[in-house]
Amino acid sequence: MFEITVQTEFCAGHSLVIGGQREKLHGHNWKVKAVIAGGTLDGDGLLCDFHTCEEVLQDICAPFHNQNLDDCEPFSAGVNPSAEHVARHIATEMVSRLDEALKPHARVASVSVTEAPGCIATYRVEK
């Protein structure tokens, strides 16, 4: 199995609801890592082009930069902007935007989001 990883980061705030209580708005320097995996390489010897995956990841994260995640889709629709939900949203968008380009050699395998050192949430995309 081959894997490539692309990364980006953005600065954003959020205020989670935990146990029915909303915490104070606070910010993070979010680090995002997307893993693309596959068992075979294309004719060029690539799983996929790093630049394509990197651009898609940056485009997905760009609307969050210097924003309050509570005000950004999909979180403005009532989804708690936890690191877990952020990771799932980014993974779902990566799949939506890249799946056809990656077939048949590769797929989006996971997205990890670090909101603070040592605090990492990972969403693994089911096959």
Report pTM: 0.95
pLDDT score at 121:
98
Nearest-5° angle of CA 71, CA 18, CA 116? 70
User: What was the pLDDT predicted at 99?
Assistant: 86
What the block records as the tokens of 20 is 């029915």
Nearby residues of 60 by Cβ (< 8 Å), 6 or more positions away: 90, 93, 94, 97
pLDDT at res. 125 = 97
87, 119 contact by CB (below 8 A): no
Residue 54 has a pLDDT of 96
Domain that holds residue 100: 2-124
pLDDT of residue 98: 94
- pLDDT attached to residue 127: 75
* Distances 30 to 19, 23, 62 between C-alpha atoms, Å: 23, 18, 12
Per-residue pLDDT of the chain (127 residues; tens, 9 = 90+): 999 999 999 999 999 999 999 999 999 999 999 999 999 998 899 999 999 999 999 999 999 999 999 999 999 998 999 999 999 999 999 999 998 888 888 999 999 999 999 999 999 999 7
pLDDT at 91: 98
Q: Count how many domains the chain has.
A: 1
Please give the pLDDT value at position 104: 84
What pLDDT was estimated at residue 105?
86
